[in-house]
Structure 1
Amino acid sequence: MAIRFDNRVAIVTGAGNGLGREYALELARRGARVVVNDLGGARDGTGSSSSAAQAVVDEIVKLGGEAIASGCSVTDEAGVAAMVAEAKNKWGRIDILINNAGILRDKSFAKMTMADFRTVLEVHLMGSVICTKAVWDIMREQKYGRILMTTSGTGLYGNFGQSNYAAAKLALVGFMGSLGIEGAKSNVHVNTIAPAAATRMTEDILPPELLSKMGPEAVVATALYLVSEGAPNRATLAAGAGGVERAYITLTRGIQVTSEESTPETVAARFDAIGNREGELLLDNAMLQSAVAMGKI
């Protein structure tokens, strides 16, 4: 059965270029009314222009769809509130939010300024928080909502020269986990995607021969599933180059020691046993970590 978004209203941030643009266009092709948000800045977040968002709106209109442009920064609380209010007033509801906007300011941590660290966190993490907060009560009241965060392999596994980006991206996984619990009773599902695609964010990070094989198709397909009516809740899916995988944060069975054995030396001596992944656990919430510890007593 085809996944459709008829009569759904979607906000896509960072939708003037790259994956955001592809998300917006495909949502529109499948019936959604779309708010195309993009500051129109450079990859490092400097500058602004309304032309990028408007160009995507024009494409959607040519397809026979409905869309409006928003040029506010996701870090601008008043601007985001106005964007959400405009969409709500025009179409009566907000069903989908894809937090896709982001910037890069890559340097080794030794050379990175605190300003560059804070700015990347502000856009990726706080930008997602601000946009999510602006639609949260609307979705809860209408008893329906689908929110997608954007993490990355850097956030999940680390990468040289991207400590600011990694910190922001893994924070969004934790944000998703808690929000998914809070929103479940109101049919608000929150998920996360870790995309790998050829965009201006990756154009000088990955080699050209690899980028040529990394079109947006798998990423777009995965993202739209994660904001569909049948979407899961609190899932992190990686997508790129035709592949789709699921990422988990797990807990090993570890060890149990007596109070007399609870020394740094014991931890050092048994580190391999602590890290043994046989029978590792997938926990549904933070309280279960304490329950695992209590269960060993």
Structure 2
Amino acid sequence: MVQDFDPSVSAADAPETSPAEEETLFVYETDYEVGQDNVEIAGLDVHNPVFFLSAGLIVLFGAMSLIFPDAATHYLTAAKTWTLQRADWLFAVTPVIVFAFALYLAFSPMGRIRLGGASAEPEFKIHSWVAMLFAAGVGVGFMFYGAAEPLAYYTDWYGTPLNVPPATPAAERLAFSATIFHWGLAPWAIYAIVGLALGFFAHNKGLPLSIRSACYHVFGERVWGWPGHIIDMFAVVSTVFGLATTIGIGATQATSGLAYLFGFEPNRYLQIALIAFMTGLAVLSVLRGMDGGVKLLSNINMG
């Protein structure tokens, strides 16, 4: 490591540096070269072995679920029930802690650190940035659960918060409170911390743009070996499963909407077609890059 950030040193007391020096002042020294483990497949630059192991686990899980649907439903439902019954407190406490931590980072001296270096400038305008946050972040889930969740709590479809009687003024207040907790500042704080870790260690520390880079302080150079591979595999598999859930919700919502508008019964074939279309659109947007893909679609989506 060359030199790390010292929050106790004010900007006035800090030594004068040129913009070029500021860009490299806090960069980690490591023998690892970005992309040294990558291989090219069909024109795509992928990491070996993270890509192959992650893809293998995802394909294996999907295949087993299709081959043994009843068993998959049983075990996944049991896992979900156990998690909600035994770890519900964790889901309630963690967002609060992360939100408090995000506030601390924002208002502490560390909040003065500019991602990308002291001379970095925003790549996108604020409108496009906000559009991408919503379109690529909470778009589908917010559109669906923003209306469904408070109604579900109020009518006792999901159970009421704090077990208050359904369809009462108390149920109404708590239904909106729980929904705002799930879709308000708390989840955005979680997204912000993950994005901050990725951006800081990649753009300020010169490390690869991956979750393992945030653990460099913990594992040191070992993070480029199997400890880092496991971290990135966990991140990839979790992200893909999360995206699969989002696409599934979106396909179900779109199918129901089309069926209502055009007067036909929702069917699985239409859902599969919509999933294929959305997946293809997402892949195309990624291949076209931020400006020609994600940014363009997000701006169109937000109007």
- TM-score, normalization by structure 1: 0.29
Give the helix-richer structure, 1 or 2. Answer: 2
Higher relative contact order (CA 8 A, sep 6+): 2
Task: Compare CA radii of gyration and give the structure with the larger one.
Answer: 2
Give the strand-richer structure, 1 or 2. Answer: 1
